[in-house]
Amino acid sequence: MVSRQQRDAERRRAAKAQARYERAAKLRRERRIVAICLVAGLLVLAGVVAAVTLGDVGDDPAVDPTATVGATATATATATAEATAGATEAGASPSIDPNALPTTVPRTYDAPPPATDSLGTTWTATVTTNLGDIVLELDGAAAPQAVASFLMLASDGFYDGTACHRLLPDALLQCGDPTASGTGGPGYSFGPIENSPSDQTYPAGTVAMARQPGIADSQGSQFFLVFEDTTLPDDAAGGYTVFGTVTQGLDILQSVGAAGTTTGASDGPPATAVIIEKVTIS
């Protein structure tokens, strides 16, 4: 039987872990703000230089009025190839029209956070969607790298505004791709596979990482939510990293599954759009 002193000690440890993570998240946000300010300053300086240059030829009637100063930023989807949750033998997501779903252009990263950022503890992630809240319990002890990555991306707002782009109506919903194409990611990938089931069975409520077929270290930002017990056969790389469970909102996922895909196929964009508005970590 656990004593009162042991329970108090456990609560204190959890509180300290939460405080450490919040400090780390705050530091990441501050660094991001500093970087944005530096870029803005450089853009302002470039504009001043350009204005001075144009001023030097201000009396020349031959100056082309259609000429522009500066560059147009183009957002390129990072092809981390984490398109599959492993439910198709072919191993690749079906062709998806990205114009059918909203897309975002979040920041990208050079590398995943260290696995130790998961603190080896349990976290709660409230995924607020247009259909209601889906609450996840994340297991930092069983899948520390996957949980650390999810915590960082969620805290930085990476998932905000993204659409869940892929549905297997009898099994799972796949989310986490800002391009809604099945090929987007955070700019990094990681491995190895953590905490995959030995019997290749993924019960309803499983939260797992998507990845490229046969490549263990191709995990990034995409994840899938299982709403019906399903079997996903291992491939050359093994199974799929299970890093949490759905504790609330399974009925939302099941209703999305019941509505099927936009084409009526067994694999494709969900007919009922699921948009992640924000993810809150506690």
- Tell me the angle at which helices 4-56 and 144-155 cross, rounded to the nearest 10 degrees: 50
**109-117 mean pLDDT:** 97
Q: Given phi > 0 = left and psi -120 to 50 = alpha, else beta, which region is 84?
A: beta
pLDDT band of 107, cuts 50, 70, 90: confident
Task: State pLDDT tens for residues 129-166.
Answer: 999 999 999 999 999 999 999 999 999 999 999 999 99
Token pair, residue 1, equals 């039987």
For the cut 70, the answer to whether the pLDDT of residue 26 exceeds it is no
Instruction: Please compute, for residue 59, the number of CA atoms within 13 A of its CA located in the half-sphere on the CB side.
Output: 1
**51-76 mean pLDDT:** 31
pTM over 0.95: no
Token pair, residue 4, equals 């009162």
Buried b or exposed e, range 61-100, using 16+ CB within 10 angstroms: eeeeeeeeeeeeeeeebbebbbbbbbbbeeeebbebebee
Give alpha helix (H) positions in the chain: 4-56, 144-155, 250-259
pLDDT at 99: 46
Q: Could you tell me which residues come within 8 angstroms of residue 81 by beta carbon, excluding any fewer than 6 positions away?
A: 183, 212, 215, 218
Strand ranges (DSSP E) for the chain?
A: 122-129, 132-139, 162-163, 166-168, 172-175, 201-202, 206-209, 223-226, 230-231, 242-248, 275-281
User: Residue 123: phi, psi to the nearest 5?
Assistant: -125, 155
Q: Given phi > 0 = left and psi -120 to 50 = alpha, else beta, which region is 170?
A: alpha
Residue 240 CB neighbours (<10 A): 30
Looking at this protein, which amino acid is placed at residue 218?
A: S
More confident residue, 217 or 47: 217
Q: Is 210 helix (H, G, I), strand (E, B) or coil?
A: coil
Cβ proximity of 252 and 227 under 8 Å:
no
